[in-house]
Amino acid sequence: MPLKKKPVTGMKDILPAEMQIRDYVTGLIKETYKSFGFSPIETPCVEHIENLCSKQGGDNEKLIFKIMKRGEKLNLETAQSEADLTDSGLRYDLTLPLSRFYSNNANNLPTPFKALQIGSVWRADRPQRGRFRQFVQCDIDILGEASCLAEIELILATTTLLGKLNFKGFKVRINERRILKAMAEYCGFPEDQFDLVFIILDKMDKIGWDGVKAELIEAGFSADSVAKYVDMFGEMEASEDPLGYLENKLTGVLAADVIGNLRTIRQSVEATKAADFELVFDPTLVRGMSYYTGTIFEIEMPEFGSSVAGGGRYDKMIGKFTGNDTPACGFSIGFERIVTILLENNFQVPGAAGKKAFLIEKNMPADKLCEVLKEARAERENGATVQVALMNKNKKFQKEQLSKEGYTEFKEFFNR
Amino acid sequence: MPLKKKPVTGMKDILPAEMQIRDYVTGLIKETYKSFGFSPIETPCVEHIENLCSKQGGDNEKLIFKIMKRGEKLNLETAQSEADLTDSGLRYDLTLPLSRFYSNNANNLPTPFKALQIGSVWRADRPQRGRFRQFVQCDIDILGEASCLAEIELILATTTLLGKLNFKGFKVRINERRILKAMAEYCGFPEDQFDLVFIILDKMDKIGWDGVKAELIEAGFSADSVAKYVDMFGEMEASEDPLGYLENKLTGVLAADVIGNLRTIRQSVEATKAADFELVFDPTLVRGMSYYTGTIFEIEMPEFGSSVAGGGRYDKMIGKFTGNDTPACGFSIGFERIVTILLENNFQVPGAAGKKAFLIEKNMPADKLCEVLKEARAERENGATVQVALMNKNKKFQKEQLSKEGYTEFKEFFNR
């Protein structure tokens, strides 16, 4: 029986044309983030199943590719459930492995530590157009920095990168988990129901305020709380200074540093940004992951229909490993989303040098072949790309194929 | 219960110091191989279990990390054996996925196609010092090129890369599977026992010719065959022209093009090489993988105790996918081996620019902070790496830590 030619379900082969763009974006990411003092690190793609299933990953934990135990550890006879068969799995994000990495290596790392990770992650999502079960994530994180300097540097680094990729006029939306919570508390929602309130609030973009109101009532919340809640958003929207509004309204409910931090972040980013974008406070921004403890942020490009980056502060995750909480804040860009946008816009990688193809006749004597190879060597040493290939019978077709790969110069060598 | 801090057994966290070297080597690989016309591609890390277990991988197939079926496909009740629980696994090399890739995409690729792959592979080897269960392989392959131009280009590209990494005085050993077979046939070994003969021959380095002789006899081969076989190697060693010796001796047994090809490869490589090495015909070179069909080669650096690259021709593998054989030849460098050697030799990445750390006092007012950030931006736009961090209480220790990360300039900013 012949072997299987297609990749496994939901994963893809990447051909040279796309790889060229991926390599270019990766290079730009490394160059830009390194200039901000982020150091590349790597963690294994395989992670302990206990860590992967520790409730840090929310719904992603349902999508884990689990790896079977090996040798004597795998006992089919006594296995009662799936859990008995597995001891590891493929990581579903880079944040959990980073937290493990930091817990394991903090003694050998500076404080604060600025990490850059580019790596594949796996999620067994339902296959659909443009979404794959293996995809690259690209995260920067600052560990050990409690002040909002972390947020400022993360936002400046990420937006500088997007600017270098010629993205313009985008929006960085920012909010604070503690504001979300204080508002819900102020309006009298029960604390154990906050997550449900936020899930409904998160739909505002799609269903509008009337929809949010209706769903909150339907979920059984008191009409008073719902009215108070929706009114607050209305008043903020009408206000010249929503942060000032919250500062007054939530006195005593909201921690004292929250509003000041957001103001510092906004002022510093706006004054020193190196790209064309706007930083806006958006009290309706929720973001899914339950591990966020402070600021949350997202980059939106309306013309591309979805967010291209997101992140936030997660000060409680490293403590799950070490017992001691460590301040942590990260920003993840949607690498695959960005590559897709560039591909769809026929992005040309800048400075891709002209490629040369040397086509040689079959059965060329060794001494003549050496002359061709020497010429190729000299060209390569001068920075050119030189493909040396035998001339096919259908030379025209061969050249067409090579042209598609970016070869612009052809030189033919014959035995005579 | 706290989460697990260590990586899974046999895998490792990679810290910034090692990442710097890995990134440098990766960059040099891409630059060098691209100049030879190799195009980067990628295949998924997860591969069909049928492909992984198709006998192409030899002993590596025993070391596969298998991934569990998901959802309804996983049925513990009816599962009789391990095989019923899995439908995919992590790739153990890049050659099998490349063959699948080529089978799947040949219509969209030029002929010949020159592929460059850099990617992780996984093998559940017994953990031991310096060997890991996840490691990076780096392969170049030429598909669709039957002539020895493939071997020449592969050897020139690989040795040019090693030269750029300052490796000198190494040896490229080359042999041909068809010579190994013709010699065994000529000496009267039974064809179905060739592999055993080669396994014993492969030990020559360690046990010497007396050892090889003894083991062959012990394995039950006729004393005549063994004597004839070992004598041939002796005569070749004594000969000025071992290839000429074989050409005479094996007339009629050995395909006509084999010796001529090896001569062309040697002449072309020696005449056009861009690094300091020697190409030597080594009739004792065996190489493990059973899929090789023609030339096999290996790069040896005596001072580092092991081979740093290996490859060969495997003209029958793609046919396992498509039903039609396609010429294929590849060369894989030992990426991890090379990184280890560079680390052990305190290799300094060339041109690593001086890094600057801006240390700022706590609670700096936003307008003052903006001034610092503007200065950082200007430095970064001039190509510098600038880390902006809060001053720790123990400033001396903080600077020491940063020095270890390559920071050479420190600038302090105070609120007053």
Question: Which one, of A314, A280, A284, A313, lies nearest residue A299 by Cα?
Answer: A280
CA A415 to each of CA A284, A359, A360, A388: distance values in angstroms, whole numbers, following the listed order: 73, 12, 8, 15
Asked if A357's CB is within 8 angstroms of B37's CB, the reply is yes
Considering the domain boundaries, does residue B295 fall inside one? Answer: no
Are both B320 and B377 inside the same structural domain?
no
Number of domain units in chain A: 2
Nearest-angstrom CA–CA distance, A256 and A250: 10
Are both B328 and B361 inside the same structural domain?
no
Asked if B112's CB is within 8 angstroms of A390's CB, the reply is yes
pLDDT at B54: 87
Q: Provide the sign of the torsion angle of the four alpha carbons A21, A26, A29, A31, taken in this order.
A: negative
CA B313 to each of CA A124, A126, A298, B317: distance values in angstroms, whole numbers, following the listed order: 36, 39, 50, 10
pLDDT at B73: 86
Nearest-angstrom CA–CA distance, A410 and A400: 11
How confident is the model over B308-357, as pLDDT tens digits? 999 999 999 999 999 999 999 999 999 999 999 999 999 888 866 679 99
Are both B96 and B40 inside the same structural domain?
yes
Nearest-angstrom CA–CA distance, A411 and A399: 11
**Which of A114-132 are b and which e, b meaning 16 or more Cβ less than 10 Å from the residue's Cβ?**
bbbbbbbbbbbeeeeeeeb
Instruction: Say how many CB pairs under 8 Å bridge A and B.
Output: 305
Please tell me which of the candidates B46, B110, B366 has its beta carbon nearest to residue A8: B46
Which of A352, A379, A400 delimits the end of a domain? A352
Considering the domain boundaries, does residue B194 fall inside one? Answer: no
Structure tokens at A84: 């008995």
Please tell me which of the candidates B19, B274, B323 has its beta carbon nearest to residue A2: B323
Question: Which one, of B382, B386, B384, lies nearest residue B411 by Cα?
Answer: B386
Nearest-angstrom CA–CA distance, A193 and B384: 49
Query: Considering chain B, what percentage of its residues have pLDDT values greater than 70?
Result: 99
Question: Which one, of A121, A122, A125, A152, lies nearest residue A139 by Cα?
Answer: A121
- Asked if A388 reaches chain B (Cβ–Cβ under 8 Å), the answer is yes
CB A125 within 8 A of CB A2: no
Question: Which one, of B133, B135, B114, B137, lies nearest residue B124 by Cα?
Answer: B133
First CA to last CA distance, chain B: 47
Asked if A65's CB is within 8 angstroms of B120's CB, the reply is no
Directed axis angle between helix A149-164 and helix A16-35, to 10°?
A: 140
Nearest-angstrom CA–CA distance, B411 and A270: 24
| Cβ within 8 Å of A, B 216-235 | none
How confident is the model over A73-125, as pLDDT tens digits? 888 888 888 888 999 999 999 999 999 999 999 999 988 999 999 999 999 99
d(CA B394, nearest CA chain A) in Å: 11
Are both A53 and A131 inside the same structural domain?
yes
Which of B307, B333, B352 delimits the end of a domain? B352
- Asked if A321 reaches chain B (Cβ–Cβ under 8 Å), the answer is yes
Which residue ranges of chain A lie beneath pLDDT 50? none
B127 pLDDT above the threshold of 90: no
Kindly list the residues from chain B whose CB atom is less than 8 angstroms away from the CB atom of residue A4.
Answer: 48, 50-51, 100, 321
Considering the domain boundaries, does residue A30 fall inside one? Answer: yes
CB A88 within 8 A of CB A67: yes
Are both A328 and A402 inside the same structural domain?
no
Nearest-angstrom CA–CA distance, B72 and A299: 38
Are both A334 and A364 inside the same structural domain?
no
Q: Long-range contacts for B208-211 (Cβ within 8 Å, ≥24 apart)?
A: B209/B233, B209/B234
Nearest-angstrom CA–CA distance, A93 and A119: 9
pLDDT at A290: 78
pLDDT at B10: 95
pLDDT at B1: 62
Q: What residues pair up with A342 in beta bridges, in sequence order?
A: none
Domain housing A50:
7-146+315-352
CB A280 within 8 A of CB A19: no
Question: Which one, of A395, A416, A67, lies nearest residue B111 by Cα?
Answer: A395
How confident is the model over A186-196, as pLDDT tens digits? 999 999 999 99
How confident is the model over B236-268, as pLDDT tens digits? 999 999 999 999 999 999 998 999 999 999 999
Considering the domain boundaries, does residue B192 fall inside one? Answer: no
Are both B18 and B86 inside the same structural domain?
yes
Output the pTM of the full model: 0.93
CB A196 within 8 A of CB A318: no
Are both B31 and B118 inside the same structural domain?
yes
Kindly list the residues from chain A whose CB atom is less than 8 angstroms away from the CB atom of residue B12.
Answer: 44
Helices (H), B219-315: 223-238, 242-249, 257-272
What mean pLDDT is reported for chain B? 93
Lowest mean pLDDT among A140-149, A190-199, B73-82, B114-123: B73-82
pLDDT at B131: 85
- Asked if B355 reaches chain A (Cβ–Cβ under 8 Å), the answer is yes
| Polymer length of chain B | 416
Nearest-angstrom CA–CA distance, B99 and B92: 14
Kindly list the residues from chain A whose CB atom is less than 8 angstroms away from the CB atom of residue B68.
Answer: 65-68, 82, 85-86
B168 pLDDT above the threshold of 70: yes
- Provide the pLDDT confidence category of residue B385 given band limits of 50, 70 and 90: very high
Residue with tokens 């689990």: A66
CB atoms within 10 A of CB B201: 22
Quick one: which H or E segment has residue A340?
A: helix A335-344
Helices (H), A176-328: 177-186, 194-201, 204-218, 223-238, 242-249, 257-272, 319-322
Which of A326, A352, A378 delimits the end of a domain? A352
pLDDT at B350: 81
Are both B348 and B371 inside the same structural domain?
no
Considering the domain boundaries, does residue A75 fall inside one? Answer: yes
pLDDT at A1: 62
Structure tokens at B83: 């095989």
Are both B25 and B77 inside the same structural domain?
yes
| Cβ within 8 Å of A, B 26-65 | 30, 34-37, 39-48, 50-51, 54, 65
**Which of B388-414 are b and which e, b meaning 16 or more Cβ less than 10 Å from the residue's Cβ?**
bbbbbeeeeebbebbeebbbeeeeebe
Residue with tokens 């895998």: B11
Asked if B44's CB is within 8 angstroms of A114's CB, the reply is no
- Asked if B413 reaches chain A (Cβ–Cβ under 8 Å), the answer is no
Considering the domain boundaries, does residue A270 fall inside one? Answer: no
First CA to last CA distance, chain A: 47
Question: Which one, of A333, A248, A260, lies nearest residue A294 by Cα?
Answer: A260
Asked if A54's CB is within 8 angstroms of B3's CB, the reply is yes
Considering the domain boundaries, does residue A35 fall inside one? Answer: yes
pLDDT at B404: 84
Judging by beta carbons within 10 Å of its beta carbon (0-12, 13-18, 19+), is residue B180 exposed, middle or buried? Answer: buried
Are both A387 and A360 inside the same structural domain?
yes
Are both A339 and A369 inside the same structural domain?
no
3-state secondary structure of B11: coil
Asked if A79's CB is within 8 angstroms of B366's CB, the reply is no
Q: Provide the sign of the torsion angle of the four alpha carbons A179, A180, A182, A186, taken in this order.
A: positive
Nearest-angstrom CA–CA distance, B46 and A89: 12
* ipTM score: 0.93
Judging by beta carbons within 10 Å of its beta carbon (0-12, 13-18, 19+), is residue B218 exposed, middle or buried? Answer: exposed
Q: CA angle, B162 as apex, B17 and A353 as ends, to 5°?
A: 90
Asked if B13's CB is within 8 angstroms of A41's CB, the reply is yes
Amino acid at A158: T
Considering the domain boundaries, does residue B56 fall inside one? Answer: yes
pLDDT at A352: 64
Supply the DSSP symbol for B317.
T
For residue A128, the domain's CATH number is 3.30.930.10
pLDDT at B353: 66
Structure tokens at B236: 């070749």
